[in-house]
A and B are shown apart, each in its own frame.
Chain A
Amino acid sequence: MARKYEITIGIECHVQLKTKTKLFSEVDNDARGKEPNSCVSPVDYALPGMLPRLNGEAVRLAIRAGAAMNAKINPDSRFDRKHYFYPDSPKGYQITQFYHPIIGEGFVELPSGKKIRIEHAHLEGDAGKLTHFDTYSLVDLNRVDTPLLEIVSMPDISSPEEARDYCKELWRNMVYAGVTNGDLYNGNMRFDVNISLKKPEDTKLGTRAEIKNLNSFRSIERAAAYEYERQSKLLDKGEKVIQETRGWSDATGVTTGQRSKEEAQDYRYMPEPDLPPLSLTQDFIKAEYDKCPALPADYRARFTKVITEDTLEVLLDYPELVNRLAEIADGGQPVDYIANLFASVLLAEENQSLLNDNLPSANQLTELAAMKSKNELSSTSAKEVFIKLFEPKHCDKTPLELAKELNLVQENDSGALEAIVDAVLAKPETAKAQADYKAGQEKVLGFLVGQVMKESHGKANPSAVSEILKKKLK
């Protein structure tokens, strides 16, 4: 779409790393469903005299995330303190990497082929959570010092759609790399979108606004589009855009100003004296870098001839499905049919809840595809077996066992089929149809096939039945 102004977007993304324990203490990092303030150590609580202990697992995951962004890992990085007073920050500062981040320059390649450069990424601790009531607020410190990787892009993004695509691809890469649970609803990844407008002929970037804390791809695209409209209206009127942070509301569909640059806090960054500099050997870095598994771009290259682009893009949002396809392909088996089952059956609105159940094994899926291709299952029956395989009680069964149990195995045996056909043809209610067919009304064959299917309780292979009928009614 043609726009009057050029958009420049840079995105900061906070990724919660899925470590077992917190970034600086040994308490559980997974507070889902736990009582407020139950996952808090004296270190997180900032008792006097407590010292942070850097979690090595967070460092490993950060390196792997760096690999998923084609980024350089800095062998020497450091931690700094970022100061601010707020009840969600027990220490009165956040431990972050302001001056010497662990991850240097890299890039994320979008499905379109465009590369968005990464400026750097650094480790830091998350803040706690506040819940506000009429006359008071409650503090929950469970999330304090959950490890975050903050990924800062260069301002290479040039449309709201591209902002969405970048966030989505980044999210996919982080999930495939296995560094985060990637649960957007629970804030596992949060995005801050910096956006400015300029006339095509201008060389200098315009003043930017930052939309904070977006956590869905749709809201990223909508908020950026709204911000384009807002800023272009200001520029049209000859007014200035102010540099500020803005909040987005999904309900109202607008951004509102929160804090301007003039009111911005001075964070008084200081080297963290309680943590020694982090020095990583090249061997350590390489070992972790190599642990980064296949990423969406690798799967695109691998499946480009077997799965349609649209189907694959849909499936790429579900790493466990793509991994299963890869497993099947590794075994030398075809994946096209399974890919279609995933995309059209499993991901259909009514079946999505199956994603929470047992994903059938590669062996089960391969056998299911083989039964379908050998006509042992009709396509309807194959879908039914496929769906049932997700049920925990069926997870140890082969598709054949399950199909037999459900009485769905298609009858291909011509002797048996002929007997059923004969029985149907002997019924008086089919006499008229037989006569009509013989008289040249070929479309009644469908009725007769239907009768045979009914007689066989759906197990007969309809095309085989149709052949037998044609032969018998000659």
Chain B
Amino acid sequence: MKIANSSTTAVSLVKAALSRIEETKEWNIFTFVDKKAALERAEEIDARIKKGETVGRLAGVPYALKANFLSKHRPADASVKILTEFTSPIDSTTAEKLDKEDAICVGCVNMDAFAHGSSTENSYFGPTKNSTDKTRVAGGSSGGSAVAVALDCVQFATGSDTGGSIRQPATFNGIYGIKPTYGTISRYGVVAMASSFDVIGFLAKSASDLDLLMSITAGQDPKDQTSLPDYYGADDTKLDKKSVGYIKEFMDSPALDPEIKSALESKLSALRAKGYDIVELSMPTLEYALPTYYIIQPAEVASNLSRYDGIRYGFRTKELNAPDKTPLDLLFENTRNEGFMRENKRRIMIGNFVLSSGFYDAYFLKAAKARTLIINEFNKAFEKVDAILSPASPNPAFKLGEKVDDPVSMYLEDVMSVTANLAGIPAIAFPAGTNKAGLPLGLQIMGPRRSDKNLIKLVEELA
């Protein structure tokens, strides 16, 4: 992922990216293309190369920012109306680090509004289409990121993963995606979804690209006090048991697509052939993973979305007159009513319900306890195995519109991916062939906390 020794230039890479973006317009991938700034940056980098100056490890590499990353002078709308009039005055830590390595941002890519969704259909800008089949969803919420990489608009894209938002679209589009250990990459400057689950990660076309991006962006950030002390590449958790597990409850799930199941089985056989012990794990508490996630996550969502009130930035309603209501109440109500998408509002309602007086103990607190049980169950599993191989989602890309009116079936898309977010452990999605219809299939591998780099090595072994 570097400019091959002067056989190409940053400008030609950026031009290629821009023309590819133009060619793939009907997939509705980009919400903002930063053509002028990208070309200027490319010229500047080429000039430095020509002068023999040292350049960064990503010199000239075009990439896309998921629309929830703040970067100076660019929109950071998270694909939602309430942020459409907002331009960021600051850089997210990730954008800053990529910039320092001379990567070139060519634009921002579509997502489910505020990352609420698993299909990128819930975007103010309309859905992004699947890279292989335009009648199908891109997956989500990092759907724009996944399709931009799969269709070669960019060499990598940033993503955020709260319940599977990097991994599921990666598998739907046949590419790689990493959800690092919670706290590995700073969350500073990324529009928050649910803070205790949110991680920053990447989507790319190889495991080694993910490794390079991790080595550049991982590390403690004083601006994010939940970020972990530096460990990536130096103090990683070793994976030396030569043992990989699979989760019985997932394998037996009637929701699991048979072709994904057989892809999983064949990967397990391949590992066995390489000398790995394959261990069946029974993890009964994972039955509660999805409900646990859909209590804590909306609570944090409702809280994190409180700041969007039309007072200081972003969209503000014009409807300030109504009988029996103060203009201030109308400012809040109408700004939020007009500015949020339906799914945003649904999560705000659920979240405020589980936090409300009288329900906190019954819902939020109980879910917090269930989360601890799930963490313990993973800890126990990792005493036996190095890593756990599992589906990232129970099915390949589904049809556009198929689940939009059925929120619960949409939430069920996350049933196998949320486990890693609940436990804060790393998980990497990788391609596992195609199904009979030609759709990409993918799997994920999960490891103990801080095993990210060794997990990437394991993925390379699996490829």
A49 vs B300: C-alpha distance in the bound complex, in angstroms?
14
Tell whether B176 is near chain A: CB-to-CB under 8 Å: no
A90 vs B313: C-alpha distance in the bound complex, in angstroms?
11
Specify which chain A residues have a CB less than 8 angstroms from the CB of B192 in the assembled complex: 48-49, 274
Within 8 A of A (CB), among B296-330: 299-300, 302-303, 305-309, 311-313, 328
Is the CB–CB distance between B92 and A49 below 8 Å?
Answer: yes
Is the CB–CB distance between A47 and B70 below 8 Å?
Answer: yes
Specify which chain A residues have a CB less than 8 angstroms from the CB of B187 in the assembled complex: 49, 51
Specify which chain A residues have a CB less than 8 angstroms from the CB of B188 in the assembled complex: 49-51
Specify which chain B residues have a CB less than 8 angstroms from the CB of A274 in the assembled complex: 192, 195, 225-226
Tell whether B223 is near chain A: CB-to-CB under 8 Å: yes
Tell whether A246 is near chain B: CB-to-CB under 8 Å: no
Highest count of chain A CB atoms <10 Å: which of B70, B191, B306, B357:
B306
Specify which chain B residues have a CB less than 8 angstroms from the CB of A133 in the assembled complex: none
Is the CB–CB distance between A85 and B306 below 8 Å?
Answer: yes
A42 vs B187: C-alpha distance in the bound complex, in angstroms?
15
Among the stretches B83-91, B235-243, B439-447, B452-460, the one at the interface with A is B83-91
Tell whether A92 is near chain B: CB-to-CB under 8 Å: yes
Tell whether B175 is near chain A: CB-to-CB under 8 Å: no
Chain B residue, CB-CB nearest to A137: B328
Chain A residue, CB-CB nearest to B332: A85
Tell whether B12 is near chain A: CB-to-CB under 8 Å: no
B72 smallest CB distance to A (angstroms): 12
Tell whether A330 is near chain B: CB-to-CB under 8 Å: no
Residue in B78, B305, B313, B355 whose CB lies within 8 Å of A268 = B355
Q: Mark B95-125, 1 if CB is under 8 A from A, else 0.
A: 0000000000000000000000000000000
Chain A residue, CB-CB nearest to B305: A92
Specify which chain B residues have a CB less than 8 angstroms from the CB of A50 in the assembled complex: 188-189
**Known contacts A53-B223, A270-B355, A274-B225; is-contact A45 B303 (Cβ 8 Å):** no
Q: Number of A interface residues, CB 8 Å?
A: 30
**Known contacts A47-B313, A48-B83; is-contact A53 B332 (Cβ 8 Å):** no
B104 smallest CB distance to A (angstroms): 22
A54 smallest CB distance to B (angstroms): 6
Q: Mark B24-46, 1 if CB is under 8 A from A, else 0.
A: 00000000000000000000000
A49 vs B221: C-alpha distance in the bound complex, in angstroms?
14
Q: Mark B330-372, 1 if CB is under 8 A from A, else 0.
A: 0010000000000000000000100111001000100010000
Tell whether A331 is near chain B: CB-to-CB under 8 Å: no
Within 8 A of B (CB), among A27-86: 42, 45-54, 81, 83, 85
Is the CB–CB distance between A273 and B195 below 8 Å?
Answer: yes
Tell whether B254 is near chain A: CB-to-CB under 8 Å: no
**Known contacts A83-B303, A85-B332, A269-B360; is-contact A47 B90 (Cβ 8 Å):** yes
Is the CB–CB distance between B70 and A46 below 8 Å?
Answer: no
A452 smallest CB distance to B (angstroms): 76
A72 smallest CB distance to B (angstroms): 25
B187 smallest CB distance to A (angstroms): 6
**Known contacts A47-B70, A139-B311; is-contact A81 B223 (Cβ 8 Å):** no
Is the CB–CB distance between B352 and A268 below 8 Å?
Answer: yes
Is the CB–CB distance between B303 and A81 below 8 Å?
Answer: yes
A233 vs B332: C-alpha distance in the bound complex, in angstroms?
41
Tell whether A275 is near chain B: CB-to-CB under 8 Å: yes
Specify which chain B residues have a CB less than 8 angstroms from the CB of A87 in the assembled complex: 309, 311, 328
Residue in A48, A90, A270 whose CB lies within 8 Å of B300 = A270
Tell whether B52 is near chain A: CB-to-CB under 8 Å: no
A137 vs B225: C-alpha distance in the bound complex, in angstroms?
35
Q: Would you mind naming 12 contact pairs between A and B with Cβ atoms under 8 Å apart?
A: A47-B90, A51-B224, A85-B309, A85-B332, A87-B309, A87-B328, A92-B303, A92-B306, A266-B357, A268-B360, A270-B364, A274-B195
Contacts beyond the supplied A48-B83, A48-B307, A274-B226: 5 A-B pairs with Cβ under 8 Å: A53-B222, A53-B223, A87-B328, A92-B306, A92-B309
